[in-house]
Amino acid sequence: MEKLLNSDVEIHRCQPSDANVRGPKEFTLSGCDLLMTNVHTRMTIYYQLFNSTKKSRGDIIQLLKTGLEKLASQVPCLTATITLDLVLKRGAMKTTGTNDAIIFLVRGSDTLCTDLPSYPDLERDRFAPWNLPKGKTYPEGLINPIPLFQGQEGGLPACIFQLNFIEGGLILTAAFHHFVADGPSIDLIFQSWAAHCRGGNFPLYTDRAILSSHKSPNQFEALELERAMVARGCKVDSTKPDPDNPWSNFMDAPTKSAILSFPRKAIETLKAEVMIQNSSIPVSTSDCLHAICWSGLLRAKTALVKNEDVKESWAIFPINFRSHRIPEFPQNYIGNATFLNGVVLPVKKLIVPEGPLKAAVALRSMIENVDTSYLADGITWSNSIQQPSTRTWLSNPPRKMDTAFASWAGLTSYRNWDFGFGLPAALRPAPQPLPFVIVLPAKTKIDGDEVFEVNIVATEETHRLLMTDADFRRYVTDYYLEV
């Protein structure tokens, strides 16, 4: 491991504090887990620190280590290694019983990191993901999936954390293998870790058997299941690679990232308009925010496209089973309990000023289709897939006129991720080149107003048109673009 890390990185292996949960074990991976891509979800969390000293930094390290050891006892699969059987095309999550632990890395404990921006500089620049030097805050050598596909026996860690002390604060990065956790699980894991650090306890539901199935539908039954899932919005086709639709089609130009601020008050004006016209459709603020981004991005894309007659556009987004629509499903479930769903609308209905109203209603109508029967069909379908590593979400990527969303809006970072040295100032995804929209948790500003932050990754020309789109900018107060 040491060979794959920078020389100034301290390595801490946080084994379960309860020795009874240590030992070799193969953990269940449900069909929902195996539909996920073989990559780590990465996030960066920023905390402000006052009067940091070598001793106070040491105290923070010990506090977080102790919390991780308790967390490892509560969720032992976090100490596991992810491997891929290249013959069966199936992932596995195992501990060996020798030195299994949550990997916790530290930089800057003795002397603050001078190769990273200071907290004041990061704050001034909206904690923009692109301002962190590559390879300094994440252990790239330990979370690169390429060696796994080449048959490396060591596999990939279930999760890994890196703590970076900087002038005026700290940067905590986390990487969770997507077989292990979805976004809501990550939030629950952070809440539990923080509770352990503060001497408390946060209950978690860790039995993945709830999303496993022993049914073996025949080929006809499997096709009928897929049709039923598609009818309720599931993007089943995205799990089937299409040689005529490579990812390069979706990434036809280099991208840039931007952090945008959407005041809740502005979003709720759209929500009120929708409710006047469609009082029977209970659209949410989140629906309206997604609708604004979908409509605005499509207007920009259609203005840039030449000689292409695209008539439809998809919004593609994750659906969470931890929902009031499925009351029997445990809200504190750890594992993947999300499916990829989508809504399609005619381009001409989306690009007009009234486009967000149509989009918000369509999004909510599709979400309301996700109920107990959807979950039951989804469990049977996902667990019946043969060679699951060949059938993952977005194996068949979106098209140019589609908008793909990842939602972190439900993460409670600004309310519950306090380990004992305060709540975080910002939560950001790691930089990425793929055109995506990542909705971040809402923040309350000093003046008391609440804003939603959104990370949009798109071409520079798309950003330029969005920034000058009056129908889009009426909802946006800050548009901070990568330079």
Task: Kindly report, residue by residue over 435-471, the tens digit of the pLDDT.
Answer: 999 999 999 988 889 999 999 999 999 999 999 999 9
| Whole-number pLDDT of residue 152 | 39
The segments of the chain whose pLDDT lies below 70 read: 145-154, 307
Which pTM value belongs to this model?
A: 0.96
For residues 271 and 291, give the distance between their C-alpha atoms in angstroms, rounded to a whole number. 10
| Whole-number pLDDT of residue 274 | 95
- Residue 115 neighbours by CB distance under 10 Å: 15
Measured CA to CA in angstroms, residue 103 lies from 64, 436, 454 at distances of 12, 29, 30
For residues 362 and 357, give the distance between their C-alpha atoms in angstroms, rounded to a whole number. 9
In CATH, the number for domain 2-208 is: 3.30.559.10
For residues 167 and 120, give the distance between their C-alpha atoms in angstroms, rounded to a whole number. 8
- Residue 29 neighbours by CB distance under 10 Å: 23
| Whole-number pLDDT of residue 99 | 87
Residues 6+ apart with CB under 8 A from 368: 325
For residues 308 and 46, give the distance between their C-alpha atoms in angstroms, rounded to a whole number. 43
Q: Whose CA is closest to 189, among 197, 32, 29?
A: 197
Element containing residue 83 per DSSP (H, E): strand 81-85
DSSP state of 133: P
| Whole-number pLDDT of residue 416 | 98
Amino acid of residue 230? V
Q: 57 burial class (0-12, 13-18, 19+ CB within 10 angstroms)?
A: buried
| Whole-number pLDDT of residue 472 | 98
Amino acid of residue 164? N
| Whole-number pLDDT of residue 250 | 80
Class of domain 211-481: alpha beta
Contact 216, 71 (CB under 8 A): no
DSSP state of 20: G
3-state secondary structure of 347: helix
Contact 364, 287 (CB under 8 A): yes
DSSP state of 51: S
Q: Which residue has the tokens 């809501």?
A: 184
Residues of the chain with CATH 3.30.559.10: 2-208, 211-481
- Residue 9 neighbours by CB distance under 10 Å: 17
Q: 98 burial class (0-12, 13-18, 19+ CB within 10 angstroms)?
A: exposed
Q: Whose CA is closest to 83, among 13, 138, 29?
A: 29
Burial of 211-232, coded b for 16+ CB within 10 Å and e otherwise, reads bbbeeeeeeeebeebbebbeeb
Q: Any bridge partners for residue 84, and if so which? A: 91
Alpha helix (H) residue ranges in 51-118: 54-74
| Whole-number pLDDT of residue 199 | 97
| Whole-number pLDDT of residue 145 | 57
Contact 107, 9 (CB under 8 A): yes
